[in-house]
Amino acid sequence: MSHFQITVVCLGNICRSPIAEAVVRHRLAAARLAEHVRVDSAGTGDWHLGYPVDPRAQATLARHGYALEHRARQIDPTWFAGIDLALAMDTANYADLRTMLDAAGTRTEVRMLRGFDPALADVVEPSGLLDVPDPYYGGDEGFDTVLTMIERAADGLVERLRAGAWQR
């Protein structure tokens, strides 16, 4: 059986997208979908290639019961052949992914992660209203805010997947 592949994408792949990777994996396991749906993450930029998750992101994950071992990676158009759903953390990431998708020529679906938050269902993608703000230059509280946004969206995403969206 083939797997449905989700790749979560932010700018540097050390804060937002690794948090989302950990949360979505956790939610998939709880929903007993982990054997059908795979999730990973990457960044559009190369500044942090090979670096571990930002220590503040790692601490936030640990405080909330999530675990993740991760090294930053950079997505490029060659990845799209193996991705079913690419989830952008903000509108700039969304635009970058759409440009890469055009170059790749695949049928990968590109969405904004918060587009799966049921409370934001009326917001048309892409929209800055769906941005997950980058907490990198702020304090610890920004990571908690980002985690809350991601958890809400992840719950909506898993509900869609549970309804069979991963079966292609």
Q: Is 54 exposed, middle or buried (0-12, 13-18, 19+ CB in 10 A)?
A: buried
**pLDDT > 70: percent of the chain:** 97
93-133: pLDDT as tens digits: 999 999 999 999 999 999 999 999 999 999 999 999 999 99
2-27: pLDDT as tens digits: 799 999 999 999 999 999 999 999 99
| Number of domains composing the chain | 1
- Active-site annotation holds for 117: no
Q: Is 32 exposed, middle or buried (0-12, 13-18, 19+ CB in 10 A)?
A: exposed
28-40: pLDDT as tens digits: 999 999 999 999 9
Q: Which residue has the higher pLDDT, 164 or 62?
A: 62
Of residues 15, 16, 73, 96, which has the active-site annotation? 16
At residue 165, does pLDDT exceed 90? no
Under the banding of pLDDT at 50, 70 and 90, the label for residue 164 is confident
Using CA of residue 54, residue 43, residue 157, residue 26, what is the dihedral sign?
A: negative
- Active-site annotation holds for 15: no
| Global pTM value | 0.96
The number of helix segments (H) and strand segments (E) in the chain equals: 4, 4
Domain range for 89: 4-165
Residue 9 to residues 6, 32, 91, 119: CA-CA distances in angstroms? 10, 24, 11, 22
**In this structure, what CATH number is given to the domain that contains residue 29?**
3.40.50.2300
Say which residue the tokens 């989830």 belong to: 87
pLDDT number for residue 167 = 62
57-91: pLDDT as tens digits: 999 999 999 999 999 999 999 999 999 999 999 99
pLDDT number for residue 166 = 63
Of residues 54, 84, 117, 134, which has the active-site annotation? 134
Of residues 10, 84, 96, 117, which has the active-site annotation? 10
At residue 152, does pLDDT exceed 70? yes
